[in-house]
Amino acid sequence: MVVKINENYLKLKSSYLFTEVARRESEFINANPDADVIKMGIGDVTKPLVPSVINAFKDAVDEMGSADTFMGYGPEQGYGFLAEAIIENDYKKYGIEFDKSEVFISDGAKCDTGNIQEIFGLDNKIAVTDPVYTVYVDTNVMAGRTGKMKDDGMYENLVYLKCNTENNFIPELPDEDVDIIYLCYPNNPTGTTLTKDQLKVFVDYAKENKAIILFDAAYEAFISEDDVPHTIYEIEGAREVAIEFKSFSKTAGFTGTRCAYTVVPKELIGYDSEGNEIEINPLWNRRQTTKFNGVSYPVQKAAEATYSEEGQAQIKEVIDYYMENAKIIRDSLTEIGLTVYGGVSSPYIWVKTPNDMNSWDFFDILLNEANVIGTPGSGFGPSGEGYLRLTAFNTLENTKEAMDRISKLKF
């Protein structure tokens, strides 16, 4: 006997994108040690946690150090105080009611969007937008829901909903039956949004086809446009067909602190092989209670503090700072004749490469001639070819300097 591996892992494309970006960057720095390289590819926040979060975090740490306030294992689903704050602030505000048992607090939306697929059968047909946050694709490859990657960069048995200039980044409904659709809005990597009417098309499709939408709203806090929904549950009928993922990572700088949540409404149903209706909520509850032991108490207290009046004001200030950067990037690039998308309700700016250049050639020009690093769009899927992603997470000074340099280039 020998140990057999899960061969689905062998189908995964190597994480070529960020390793190749890092390789070209260090090659450039070795050849040009004095160059001041500005990183505009960062997908991580850079501002520290705000004071009200830090205070709550510290107070909770002190509680852990005293016998009468010490907390051991908490509920796997998260503490009631945080679930209540979430329901009150992220849903009631929009006229949406949830029970605490429909909110599952976790240590990340990456884990949740990755783990959620295991409560669904392997014979479900999956659709993703293209370009895409690769977690949705790779976790389904690992589970065996796809075939091999084809020469065109697409996996067999996976449905790609193209998002490009032609459709103004509004994905069309799949032209074959699908069971599970991943949507992320505001979108990473394109920074584009869907209006309520555009999202309703997908909700209606899901209702009609007994499908489920996995809606990633990690960038909700960046929304500035009135007709862009803050939660998919603003769309009529969505509680019957959608699971929503949210995170404190981009909202409040929790990328290194780790806290997120997933909403699984009681109304949501799937089907067993005999066609019986099965509630999804108890399945996710069973998955979490079996495989997860909750987020640490101080982190949940820190997350709760983001909802205080002071906390809300402080995190808004940070988001406004990033969005000022986004505006500078948009305006500067538009000024020199480039076509850009996103950056209005999102920290990502999706730049169409000039003269139909490919993503990597444009990356090289920006690196070599402006010493600015972006992320080649082709790394996010075949439809990302011909685009480059810039982010608003650098400092204001660096953002301005990077735009000054790019503005001097001739395309």
Ligand X SMILES: *Cc1c(COP(=O)(O)O)cnc(C)c1O
Asked if 214 and 247 count as a contact pair (C-beta separation under 8 A), the reply is no
Residue span binding ligand X (CB under 6 A) among the ranges 108-116, 167-175, 224-232, 387-395: 108-116
Task: Give the bridge partners for 376, in sequence order.
Answer: 388
Candidate list 85, 109, 137, 242; residue touching ligand X; CB under 6 A: 109
Binding flag, residue 184, ligand X (CB under 6 A): yes
Task: Reply yes or no: is the peptide bond before residue 75 cis, omega within 30 of 0.
Answer: no
Helix (H, G, I), strand (E, B) or coil at 128: strand
Q: Where are the beta strands (DSSP E) in 326-385?
A: 340-342, 348-352, 372-373, 375-376
Nearer Cβ to ligand X (232/403): 232
Which CB atom, from 133 or from 202, has the smaller least distance to ligand X? Answer: 133
Decide if residue 255 touches ligand X (CB under 6 A).
yes
The four Cα atoms 200, 201, 202, 208 give a dihedral, to 10 degrees, of: 100
Count of residues that bind ligand X according to CB under 6 A: 13
How far apart are CB 42 and ligand X at their closest, in Å? 11
CB under 6 A: which stretch of 200-208, 242-250, 270-278, 312-320 binds ligand X? 242-250
Stretch that binds ligand X, among 54-62, 103-111, 317-325, 362-370 (CB under 6 A): 103-111
Of 258 and 301, nearer to ligand X (C-beta) is 258
Question: What is the smallest separation between the CB atom of 260 and ligand X, expressed in angstroms?
Answer: 4
Is the separation of the CB atoms in 203 and 175 below 8 Å?
no
- Is residue 389 within the footprint of ligand X (CB under 6 A)? no
110 lies in the binding site for ligand X (CB under 6 A): yes
Residues whose CB falls within 8 Å of the CB of residue 206, separated by 6 or more in sequence, listed in order: 181, 212, 213, 241, 242
List all residues 6 or more positions away from 284 whose beta carbon is below 8 Å from its beta carbon.
104, 116, 119, 243, 262, 264
The answer to whether residue 180 forms part of the interface with ligand X (CB under 6 A) is no
Does residue number 330 form part of the binding site for ligand X (CB under 6 A)?
A: no
Helices (H), 6-79: 16-31, 51-64
Q: By CB under 6 A, tell whether 250 contacts ligand X.
A: yes
SS3 label, residue 46: coil
- Choose the binding region for ligand X from 9-17, 81-89, 107-115, 194-202 (rule: CB under 6 A): 107-115
CB hemisphere CA count around 218 (13 angstroms):
28
Residue 223 in the binding site for ligand X (CB under 6 A):
no
**Is 78 an interacting residue with respect to ligand X (CB under 6 A)?**
no
Cβ-contact 202, 238 below 8 angstroms: no
Closest approach, Cβ 405 to ligand X, in A, equals 27
CB atoms within 10 A of CB 41: 23
Distance of CA 19 to the CA centre of its chain: 20
Closest contact distance (angstroms) between CB of 10 and ligand X is: 25
Specify the stretch interacting with ligand X by CB under 6 A; choose among 77-85, 102-110, 190-198, 400-408: 102-110
CB of 230 to ligand X, least distance (A): 16
HSE-up (13 A, CA, CB side) for residue 375: 24
Comparing CB distances to ligand X, the nearer of 130 and 403 is 130
The torsion angles phi and psi of 351, rounded to 5 degrees, stand at -100, 125
CB of 343 to ligand X, least distance (A): 15
In the bound state with ligand X, the residue whose beta carbon lies nearer, of 133 and 284, is 133
Residue spans of alpha helices (H) in 105-232: 109-115, 134-143, 196-209
Smallest gap from Cβ 44 to ligand X, in A, equals 8
Q: Which stretch binds ligand X (CB under 6 A): 4-12, 243-251, 273-281, 330-338?
A: 243-251
Give the nearest residue (CB) to ligand X: 108
Dist. CA 102–CA 83, nearest whole Å: 9
Q: Check residue 108 for interaction with ligand X (CB under 6 A).
A: yes
Counted residue by residue, the chain has a size of: 411
> Which positions from 113 through 172 interact with ligand X, judged by CB under 6 A?
133
Does 247 bind ligand X (CB under 6 A)? Our answer is yes
SS3 202: helix
Residues of this chain that bind ligand X (CB under 6 A): 108-110, 133, 184, 188, 216, 218, 247, 249-250, 255, 260
